């Protein structure tokens, strides 16, 4: 198999502020694997939180190329990846390698990824759309516009220095979108002694669930908070991989599974199997990425209670197309593999 990679910059339509940072752009590394005239593609994006800058990503992708090239076909490489993994490889890179292989295997078989995974038809789901930390007035205006566009689920970022600002933002969004489902995400910014009171206030405002209200690093404290919470608590930063999910299964109401965090589709399915019947449900989340990076998770959208796959919708220009979402619903394509294709050519063969 032939392997190539390309680095691109993904600019956001407007900067997105969360509790720990403000982001205006993100770099992505695209991995392409070719066999018998067909190509499969995967994407990994930079992340300060996970310690992956563009140089590190590029080097890691390059270092895995000889491993991929030694296989006679993508099916053999995927079997090896699923059986033994890629030792010492960050989950985001493993997920990108797996994505490229799944894309190519699906194209060779002439079926979409969800069919390979056993789904009867193409999954679709109402995706949350993120409203960043901003003034209540601006948040309300954004919410009203998003609802007009067709979004029925809104995720409000929280974590302002004064929690009263978070509550004011939620009130403004609720007033502008009275029938929308509301999620809240402080990204671990709330202080532990305030979190329980804030959760009760959020419940009174009609928030459906809250992600990672308190700082990660103490999953026992998160579980205790979830046991007292009047609304579902979804672990995110405290639930990176399979072992974290095992520790929290049945003790929090939800786990945010991001493929770049856990290591890809196979790892996500193992987490789903682990928590099944435990009382802990799945949220499918993402990093800001192109359609190429979001697509593998869309093929799992029928397995989650909450879907937050709007990373591609935050971009000023998405270089790929194929999963929709601008009307509030992401849809897996019926095309083979991931079902995505470069927009306007993009210099990459589908």
Structure tokens at 11: 């600019």
Whole-number Å distance between alpha carbons of 223 and 247? 10
Instruction: Kindly tell me the burial class for residue 70, based on how many C-beta atoms sit within 10 Å of its own C-beta (0-12, 13-18, 19 or more).
Output: exposed
Q: Which of 107, 155, 258, 261 is catalytic?
A: 258
271's tokens: 């987490």
Q: How far is it, in rounded angstroms, from Cα 111 to Cα 206?
A: 41
- Which H or E element spans position 109? helix 91-109
> Quick one: which H or E segment has residue 98?
helix 91-109
Is the separation of the CB atoms in 336 and 33 below 8 Å?
A: no
- DSSP letter at 301 equals G
Which residue in the block uniquely carries the two structure tokens 């987490």? 271
DSSP state of 310: -
Angle at 247 between CA 246 and CA 250, to 5 degrees: 80
Class of residue 143 by CB neighbours under 10 A (exposed 0-12, middle 13-18, buried 19+): buried
* Catalytic site includes residue 2: no
Q: How many CB atoms lie within 10 A of CB 235?
A: 27
Of 107, 155, 157, 261, the catalytic one is: 157
Q: Would you say 154 and 131 are in contact if contact means Cβ atoms under 8 Å apart?
A: yes
Active-site positions read: 157, 258
């Amino acid at each position: 198999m032939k392997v190539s990679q390309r680095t691109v910059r993904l600019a956001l339509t407007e900067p997105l502020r969360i509790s720990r940072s403000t982001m205006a752009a993100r770099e992505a590394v695209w991995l392409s694997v070719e066999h018998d005239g067909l190509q499969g593609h995967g994407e990994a994006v930079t992340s300060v939180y996970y310690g992956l800058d563009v140089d590190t990503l590029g080097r890691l992708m390059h270092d895995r190329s000889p491993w991929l090239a030694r296989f006679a076909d993508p099916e053999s490489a995927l079997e090896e990846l699923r059986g033994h993994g890629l030792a010492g490889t960050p989950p985001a890179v493993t997920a990108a390698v797996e994505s490229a292989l799944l894309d190519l295997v699906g194209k060779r078989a002439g079926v979409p990824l969800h069919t390979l995974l056993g789904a009867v038809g193409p999954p679709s789901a109402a995706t949350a759309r993120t409203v960043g930390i901003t003034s209540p007035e601006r948040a309300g205006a954004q919410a009203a516009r998003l609802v007009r566009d067709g979004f029925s689920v809104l995720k409000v970022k929280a974590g302002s220095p004064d929690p009263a600002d978070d509550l004011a933002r939620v009130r403004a969004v609720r007033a502008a979108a009275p029938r929308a489902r509301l999620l809240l995400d402080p990204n671990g910014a709330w202080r532990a002694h305030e979190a329980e009171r804030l959760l009760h206030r959020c419940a009174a405002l009609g928030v459906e669930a809250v992600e990672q209200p308190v700082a990660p690093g103490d999953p026992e404290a998160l579980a205790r908070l979830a046991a007292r919470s009047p609304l579902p608590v979804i672990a995110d930063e405290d639930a990176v991989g399979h072992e974290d999910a095992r520790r929290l299964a049945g003790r929090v109401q939800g786990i945010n599974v991001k493929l770049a965090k856990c290591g890809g589709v196979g790892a996500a399915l193992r987490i789903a199997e682990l928590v099944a019947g435990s009382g802990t449900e799945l949220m499918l989340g993402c990093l800001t990425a192109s359609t190429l990076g979001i697509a593998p998770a869309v093929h799992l959208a029928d397995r989650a209670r909450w879907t937050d796959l709007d990373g591609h919708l935050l971009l000023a220009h998405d270089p790929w197309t194929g999963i929709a979402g601008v009307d509030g619903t992401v849809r897996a394509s019926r095309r083979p593999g991931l079902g995505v294709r470069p927009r306007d050519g993009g210099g990459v063969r589908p």
